[in-house]
C-alpha cells in the first residue's frame, strides 16, 4: 500500500479515536467497547485471543478479537493467525474476526497485507486513547500515559534480540521489535490500570527472559482482558495457567482455552469448515445456538480431562480421545430415547438404567412411564429428552454425553443440507 494512503488512514483513525475517547471520558462509567462503535457491532459472546490461534477459536465463538503486530512476511502472518491474509480479510468483512492492527504506516512495503488494509480495520491508536482515558479516570493528566511509554522504552528497546533468537531456535519466529513493542504496551497498560508496583518491578528486571515471562503473565491476567479484550472472553494457552499460579494469580479457568480438547472437536466435526462459510450459514449457527453448544461441549470435555488427572492437565498426559470416544458411545443410547415408534420403548434408556442401581432404576423407569403415558408423539421429543437429562444431572452422571448429543443435533440440523466448503 502506498505511504500516502497509509498516512491518511492513520490520521483518520487518530481523529475517530479522539472523538470516541471524548465521548467515553464524558460518561460516568467507562465501557471499552465504546472506542469501536463506528466499526464493530459486537455479538453477545466474543473471544479475545491471547496466544491461541484465531482459527481454533472461531468455531466456538460468534466473534474473535485478535491483535496484529507487524508480521514481516506472509508466512509469519499465517503462522500467527492460522490462516492467510485473504481469509482474515473475508472474516473481518463479516465481522467474525476483528483484527486490531498496529499504526498503518508501520505496514509500508508489506503489500501482501493490502486485502486487509483496504478494509481499514481498527488500529492500536484506539487502545492508546483508552489508556489515556484510564489514566485520567485515576486522576492523572493525559500526558501521564505518554510518560509511562517513555520510561518503558528506556528499559526495553534494543535488549531483546537474544531472546528472539532463542524463540527462533525453538521454531517460534518472533522478531525483537514485536517483543519489545508488546512489553512497552504491557507496561503502559498495567500502569494506567493502577498496577504501578507490579509494572515497575517488572521493568527493573535485568534478565530479559524473566522480564518477558513476568510481563506477559501479569498483562494477560490483569490488563489485556480490560484494555484489549473489550469485555470479551479472554482465551489464553494452557501454559498461562501454570505461569499465573506460579505468581500467585488465579485466572478464571474459562479464560484458559483447552487447546487439546478444541483441536479434537475441530477435527472430529470439521468445525473449521465454518470459517469460510457464508453469512447465511453463520447466522443460522448463531441463531440456532450451534456455536454456543460447541463451546459448552468444549468446556465439558475439558472438565472431563481435568477430572481424569487434574495435576497433569497442563502436561497433557491423558488421552482426550479415550474420554471423548467413551462419551460418544453413550450418545448412541441417548439417541434411542428420542426415537419414536408409536410407543415408548423401555429398552431405549438402557444406558441410563445401566448407570444406576436397580432400585433407583426401577423408580426412574416408573417416572418415565408415568410422565409419558407409554406413548410419544413427535412433538414430545424435546420433553422426553429433558426428562432423561434432568435425572442424569441429579445422579451426578457426567454432562459430557448430553453436551455431545445436544451439539450434534444442532450441528446436523444447520449443516446437513448445505454444508459449507472446507
Residue 67 pLDDT greater than 90, yes or no: no
CA distance 216 to 189: 12
Assigned domain for 356 exists: yes
CA–CA distance, 75 with 85 (Å, rounded to integer): 10
Q: Are 264 and 137 in the same domain?
A: no
Q: Assess if residue 122 is contained within a domain.
A: yes
DSSP H stretches of helix in 373-399: 381-394
Q: What percent of the chain has pLDDT over 90?
A: 32
DSSP 194-247: T-HHHHHHHHT-S-HHHHHHHHHHHIIIIIHHHHTTTTSEEEB-HHHHHHHHHT
pLDDT band at residue 109 using 50, 70 and 90 as cut-offs = very high
Do 328 and 199 fall into the same domain? no
211 pLDDT more than 80: yes
What pLDDT, on the 0 to 100 scale, is given for residue 116? 96
Residues 117 and 186 in one domain: yes
266 and 132 in a single domain? The answer is no
Lowest mean pLDDT, pick from 60-69, 205-214, 400-409:
400-409
Residue 294 shares a structural domain with residue 228: no
One domain, residues 309 and 200: no
| The pLDDT value given to residue 25 | 86
Res. 312: pLDDT tops 60 = no
Task: Encode pLDDT of 8-23 as tens digits.
Answer: 999 999 999 999 999 9
Q: Note whether 234 and 106 are same-domain residues.
A: yes
Quick check: 277 and 58 in contact, CB under 8 A? no
90-104, 138-152, 366-380: segment of lowest average pLDDT: 366-380
C-alpha cell at 189: 497498560
Dihedral angle over CA of 350, 353, 356, 359, nearest 10 = -150
Q: Residues with Cβ < 8 Å from 163, sequence gap 6 or more?
A: 176, 179, 208, 209, 212
Question: Is residue 6 scored above 60 in pLDDT?
Answer: yes
How far, in whole angstroms, is CA 59 from its chain's centroid?
A: 10
d(CA 326, CA 337): 18
Which is more confidently placed, 337 or 297?
297
Report if residue 420 sits inside a domain: no
Which range among 109-118, 214-223, 263-272 has the greatest average pLDDT? Answer: 109-118
What was the pLDDT predicted at 389? 53
- Computed over every residue of the chain, the mean pLDDT equals 79
- Which of 87-96, 314-323, 347-356 has the highest mean predicted lDDT (pLDDT)? 87-96
The domain boundary residue, chosen from 206, 222, 257: 257
Question: Does position 355 have pLDDT exceeding 70, yes or no?
Answer: no
Residues 249 and 264 placed together within one structural domain of the fold:
no
- Note whether 287 and 331 are same-domain residues: yes
Worst-scoring range by mean pLDDT, 187-191, 309-313, 314-318, 341-345? Answer: 341-345
Is residue 370 classed exposed, middle or buried when 0-12, 13-18 and 19+ CB atoms within 10 A define those classes?
exposed
pLDDT in tens, 369-393: 344 443 433 344 444 455 555 555 5
pLDDT class of 420 with cuts at 50, 70, 90:
very low
pLDDT of residue 158: 94
The mean per-residue pLDDT over the stretch 23-45 comes to 88
pLDDT level of residue 402 (50, 70, 90 thresholds) = confident
In a domain, 394, yes or no: yes
Number of independent structural domains in the chain: 2
Whether pLDDT at 98 is above 80: yes
23-37, 112-126, 245-259, 375-389: least confident range: 375-389
Quick check: 343 pLDDT over 70?
Answer: no
Among the candidates 257, 280, 296, a domain finishes at 257
Given a cut of 80, is residue 77 above it in pLDDT? yes
Task: Tell me the pLDDT band of 58, cut-offs 50, 70 and 90.
Answer: very high
Domain that holds residue 375: 259-415
Percentage of the residues of the chain whose pLDDT score is greater than 70 = 79
Position 2 scores a pLDDT of 92
pLDDT exceeds 50 at position 281? yes
Query: Is 422 domain-assigned?
Result: no
- 280 in the same domain as 234: no
Between residues 228 and 121, the one the model is more confident about: 121
pLDDT at 354 over 80: no
Q: Within 13 A of 142's CA, how many CA atoms are on the CB side?
A: 8
Select the more confidently predicted residue: 380 or 111.
111
pTM beyond 0.85: no
C-beta separation of 276 from 421 below 8 A: yes
Residue 90 lies in a domain: yes
**pLDDT at residue 369, rounded to an integer:** 37
Same domain, 359 and 240: no
Q: Within a domain: residue 421? A: no
Residue 266 sits in the same domain as residue 249: no
What is the tens place of the pLDDT at every residue in 120-145?
A: 999 999 998 998 888 888 888 777 87
Question: What grid cell was written down for 234?
Answer: 479472554
Q: Which of 257, 285, 311 is the last residue of a domain?
A: 257
Instruction: Quote the pLDDT of residue 16.
Output: 96
Tell me if 112 is assigned to some domain.
Answer: yes
Q: Looking at residue 365, what is its pLDDT?
A: 36
Amino acid at each position: 500500500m502506498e505511504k500516502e494512503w497509509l498516512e491518511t488512514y492513520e490520521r483518520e483513525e487518530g481523529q475517530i479515536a479522539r472523538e470516541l475517547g471524548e465521548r467515553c471520558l464524558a460518561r460516568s462509567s467507562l465501557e471499552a467497547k465504546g472506542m469501536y462503535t463506528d466499526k464493530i457491532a459486537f455479538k453477545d459472546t466474543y473471544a479475545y485471543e491471547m496466544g491461541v490461534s484465531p482459527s481454533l477459536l472461531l468455531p466456538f465463538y460468534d466473534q474473535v478479537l485478535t491483535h496484529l503486530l507487524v508480521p514481516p512476511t506472509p508466512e509469519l502472518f499465517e503462522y500467527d493467525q492460522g490462516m492467510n491474509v485473504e481469509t482474515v480479510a473475508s472474516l473481518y468483512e463479516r465481522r467474525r474476526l476483528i483484527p486490531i492492527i498496529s499504526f498503518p504506516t508501520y505496514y509500508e512495503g508489506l503489500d501482501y497485507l493490502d486485502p486487509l488494509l483496504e478494509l481499514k480495520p481498527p488500529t492500536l491508536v484506539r487502545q492508546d486513547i483508552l489508556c489515556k482515558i484510564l489514566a485520567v479516570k485515576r486522576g492523572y493528566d493525559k500526558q501521564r500515559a505518554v510518560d509511562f511509554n517513555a520510561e518503558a522504552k528506556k528499559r526495553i528497546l534494543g535488549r531483546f534480540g537474544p531472546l528472539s533468537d532463542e524463540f527462533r531456535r525453538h521454531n517460534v519466529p518472533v522478531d525483537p521489535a514485536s517483543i519489545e513493542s508488546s512489553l512497552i504496551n504491557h507496561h503502559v497498560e498495567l500502569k494506567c490500570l493502577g498496577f504501578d508496583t507490579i509494572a515497575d518491578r517488572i521493568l527493573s528486571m535485568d534478565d530479559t527472559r524473566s522480564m518477558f515471562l513476568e510481563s506477559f503473565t501479569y498483562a494477560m491476567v490483569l490488563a489485556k482482558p480490560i484494555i484489549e479484550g473489550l469485555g470479551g472472553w479472554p482465551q489464553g494457552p494452557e501454559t498461562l495457567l501454570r505461569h499465573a499460579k506460579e505468581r500467585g494469580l488465579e485466572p478464571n479457568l474459562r479464560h484458559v482455552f483447552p487447546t487439546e480438547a478444541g483441536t479434537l472437536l475441530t477435527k472430529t466435526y470439521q468445525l473449521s469448515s465454518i470459517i469460510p462459510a457464508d453469512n447465511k450459514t453463520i447466522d443460522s449457527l448463531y441463531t440456532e445456538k450451534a456455536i454456543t453448544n460447541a463451546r459448552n461441549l468444549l468446556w465439558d470435555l475439558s472438565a472431563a480431562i481435568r477430572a481424569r488427572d487434574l495435576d497433569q492437565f497442563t502436561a497433557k498426559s491423558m488421552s482426550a480421545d479415550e474420554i471423548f470416544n467413551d462419551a460418544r458411545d453413550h450418545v448412541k443410547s441417548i439417541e434411542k430415547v428420542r426415537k419414536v415408534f408409536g410407543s415408548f420403548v423401555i429398552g431405549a434408556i438402557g444406558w441410563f438404567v445401566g448407570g444406576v442401581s436397580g432400585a433407583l432404576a426401577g423408580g426412574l423407569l416408573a417416572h418415565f412411564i408415568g410422565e409419558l403415558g407409554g406413548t410419544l408423539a413427535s412433538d414430545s421429543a424435546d420433553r422426553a429428552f429433558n426428562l432423561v437429562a434432568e435425572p442424569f444431572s441429579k445422579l451426578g452422571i457426567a454432562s459430557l454425553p448430553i453436551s455431545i448429543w445436544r451439539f450434534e443435533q444442532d450441528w446436523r440440523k444447520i449443516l446437513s443440507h448445505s454444508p459449507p466448503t472446507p
